[in-house]
Amino acid sequence: MEQVIVLIGAGSIGQAIARRVGAGKQILIADLRKENAEAAAKTLYDAGFRVTASVVDVSNR
């Protein structure tokens, strides 16, 4: 079974946490703005992490 880290929001604090605990895990970056999620995903991908970006509105069920 693969372990997944879900990061809600693509800010720098979340990215720092993902770097700290994301080694060897799949990281899902979820943000309201597609551009933010994709930029954070690219940054982490370029650093060697397995990462996927998704648009998510956590205020809407």
Q: What is the mean pLDDT of each run of 10 residues along the chain (61 residues)?
A: 89 93 95 95 96 92 76
Would you state the pLDDT for residue 19? 94
d(CA 19, CA 35): 20
Give me the CATH number covering residue 17.
Answer: 3.40.50.720
Establish if 61 belongs to a structural domain: no
Q: How many domains does the chain have?
A: 1
Establish if 14 belongs to a structural domain: yes
Would you state the pLDDT for residue 2? 84
Residues 6+ apart with CB under 8 A from 46: none
For 20, the enclosing helix (H) or strand (E) is helix 12-21
pTM for this prediction: 0.87
d(CA 4, CA 36): 20
Establish if 60 belongs to a structural domain: no
Q: Range of 16's domain?
A: 4-55
